[in-house]
Structure 1
Amino acid sequence: MLTDILRAGEKVPAGVAHLPVEEGTSLWGRLPCAADAPVLRLEPGDEAVIDTLSHEGILEDQGRDPRAFFGAHGVEPEQVLPDAIALAAGHPGRDRATDGPHVVTGPIHVAGARPGDLLKVTILEHEMRVPYGVVSNRHGRGALPGEYPAGPATVSVFAGVEDTADGPVGTMAPRAGAERTLRFPLRPFLGIMGVAVPGTDRPHSVPPGRHGGNIDINLLTAGTSLYLPVQVEGALAYVGDPHFAQGDGEVALTAMEASLRSRLRFDVIARDDAVAQFGEVVGPLAETSEYLIPTGMDEDLDLAVKDCVRHAIALLQARWGLDPEHALAYLSAATDFDISQVVDVVKGVHARIRTADFAEVRP
């Protein structure tokens, strides 16, 4: 296993704003609303280096003592992030009975962002802050609630990071003391990316929605962008729930959760330009070098799929001038609809529309 960790303030590029994750710059279990004061102010086009902290290893059912929790898995005290220790020891305001588990960094005010605009968040880089992570399964959640875990206690499976000739990979022993090791690819991304909602009530951190939040789309790796419908002045953006790896579905409840540092760029797309490019965007929309990725969300997975298909049709109409019948036919022939996650109360589906297919199409 690798041993390096990335502490707050270390190796921050000169001239780029840095947002650490600490009591004054984060929420635990809730997402920002319009009443929250920004902890960072940016101009459109600005970049920021933002630290995020995984909730795994600091929660009450894990002892709320990351040194003891990770120490039991062979992690030395100096390999535990100081900000994880500090937050677990006394972050105020979280009600275990009513709030979510996620630590969220922000909110960030982006000048000129107004309701009706789109906030474009471009992921320039993700850096692993620790060389390990955790996958947990808790009763009442996950794809098989009541079946797993088999007993009353939370099951938290430790996963390491190993350097190979092809880059870092995740490692996991299939059982305690096993000599065999499972290895799997790492694709770091942020599970939570969102904008504030109107009003004075902070949303729970678990269910995603029009504001983004806990969307858990594993395609949001370095080089991709997320478009979010702005709902309040300045957008008040935030990020959190860092992952090193996740399969579509995230069936255990969490995936390989582990702390990241992310370099992000924030741009504002005015409403008229947004409509011309994408149509009426009613929820998060992602973009990679290969795909446009509309989303659908609902507590009912069938309805989430329908929601995603409708959004995909509307996108094809606006972007390339397809009529609805041809848009639906194309989607059926050429587009994958993937389950983002099934464990966050509101289930998520995302479509991968291959932009190369439209190279010769004129609106």
Structure 2
Amino acid sequence: MDVVEFTPTFEQFAYTFGGAAPVMRVRPGTALRLWSEDAFNHALTGVADLSSEKVDLRYVNPQTGPFWVEGAEPGDTLAIHFVDLTPARDWGVSAAIPFFGGLTSTDRTAMIQEALPDTTWIYHLDRAKNTVAFEARHSDLVVELPVAPMLGTVGVAPAAGEVRTSLVPERFGGNMDSPEMRAGTTCFLPVNVEGALFSIGDGHYRQGEGEACGTAVEGAMTTTLIVDLVKGGASPAGTWPRLETDDHWMAVGSSRPMEDSWRIAQVEMVRWFEQLYGLHTMDAYQLLSQITEVPVANVVDANFSVVVKAAKGLLPARDAFGGIHADLRARAASLGAM
């Protein structure tokens, strides 16, 4: 399988889902190797750099894309299979940003208090060990952590001509910040506009569930993926992102408050299990109540994201979307990766 490589120039970055002209047209089944910039747009490169001084919020989460998928139209399902994610630099960066994060007041949770200290951490990458090093700024501790590459943003253009900042997660995907968005995962997104207009970005060298302080180990990333299309009528996707791995079925909900994110993802899983297993709604609800795991993706973005996942090993084997995940995994193997 041939791989189309694309490295955007600074002028080609998009900062929204919707509203941006496509950088390339691709056919379903195309393998892409894409370079993406870190979430801070390379504004923070050392511990002396402070987000309040260096980061321009108009230009964060730069997106590589969007890509026009030929033949995609509303009612179809875009399938994006992540083959490989490789850090593109030998360091990543994280920061505590004033009045941003899970444990500080914000404009939505207003308190009479000072901002937490504006602080930057640099994580050095050891490729031989496949680790990044946490180096405490105010204490005496160094910890080497395994690299676990993921993408914070994966999305398509929203419906009805809507344009959303790349900081927002919603039904179109977007800034979900889920560690589940990693190599070996197939992401299913409903197509809302002609061409789908999908983009990726916000590479993380690793991230804890919830992304508590608001930033992961942010870094430039080289992502190899295969994009394909399920035409309407062939088990169309629900209205929210669905994920499949070799081991799990998953759905992602994004909203506020967080329990509504869970409700969205849980309902999406109920609907999916109705399709996969021919279950009555109440039976799907009961079964999922006994088997699901609920990792929190983020508690910091404009909406909070929650993943509801069910282990395939507990269930009879089924194929979703015509078995396209297994097919994409086989095609990925021909690339010499996942």
Interval containing the TM-score (normalised by the shorter chain): 0.7 to 0.9
1:155 maps to amino acid: T
1:102 aligns with 2:61: yes
Correspondent of 1:330 among 283, 287, 296: 287
Per-residue CA distance 1:252-285 (angstroms, 9 max, x = gap): 001111110111111000111133xxxx511111
| Aligned AA (1:334) | I
Which residue does 2:122 correspond to in 1? 158
1:290 aligns with 2:271: no
- Partners of 1:100 and 1:57 in 2: CA distance: 7
CA displacement, residues 286-330 of structure 1 (integer Å, 9 cap, x when unaligned): 111101111112121011111111111111111111222222222
Q: What does 1:200-211 correspond to in 2, within 5 Å?
A: 202-211=163-172
Q: Is 1:225–2:193 an aligned residue pair?
A: no
Q: 2:262 aligns with which of 270, 283, 305?
A: 305
Give, in angstroms, the shift of residue 30 of structure 1: 2.4
> Is the CA contact 2:210–2:297 (under 8 Å) kept in the aligned structure 1?
yes
Is it true that 1:351 corresponds to 2:335 in the alignment?
Answer: no
1:136 correspondence with 2:95: yes
Which residue of structure 2 aligns with residue 23 of structure 1?
Answer: 10
Alignment partners' CA distance in 1, 2:2 and 2:47? 36
Q: 2:23 aligns with which of 39, 42, 66?
A: 39
Q: Partners in 2 of 1:359 and 1:344 — Cα distance? A: 36
- Rate the CA distance shift 1:177–1:347 in 2: closer, same or farther, 3 A: closer
Aligned residues: 311
The alpha-carbon distance between structure 1 residues 312 and 20, as it changes in their structure 2 partners (threshold 3 A), is same
Q: Alignment partner for residue 262 of structure 1, among 223, 228, 231?
A: 223
Query: What's the C-alpha RMSD, in Å, of the aligned pairs?
Result: 2.7
User: 1:91: which partner in 2?
Assistant: none
Q: Normalising by the residue count of structure 2, what TM-score does the alignment of the two structures yield?
A: 0.84
Measure the CA separation in 2 of the matches of 1:362 and 1:268: 16
Q: Which runs of 5+ in 1 are unaligned?
A: 1-13, 63-68, 74-87, 89-93
TM-score by length of 1: 0.79
Q: Report SS of the residue matched to 1:289.
A: coil
1:141–1:343 CA contact under 8 A, matched in 2 = yes
Question: 2:33: which partner in 1?
Answer: 49
Structure 1 residue 40 displacement after superposition? 1.1
Aligned equivalents of 1:213 and 1:49: distance in 2? 19
The match for 2:325 is: none
| Corresponding position of 2:214 | 253
Q: Residue 162 of structure 1: CA displacement?
A: 2.2
Cα 1:153–1:162 shift into 2, 3 Å: same
Alpha-carbon distance in structure 2 between the residues aligned to 1:57 and 1:45: 30
Whether the 8 Å contact between 1:172 and 1:183 is mirrored in structure 2 is yes
Paired residue type of 2:4: A
**Alpha-carbon spacing, 1:339–1:128, altered in 2? closer, same or farther (3 Å):** same
Q: In 2, Cα distance between the equivalents of 1:71 and 1:139?
A: 16
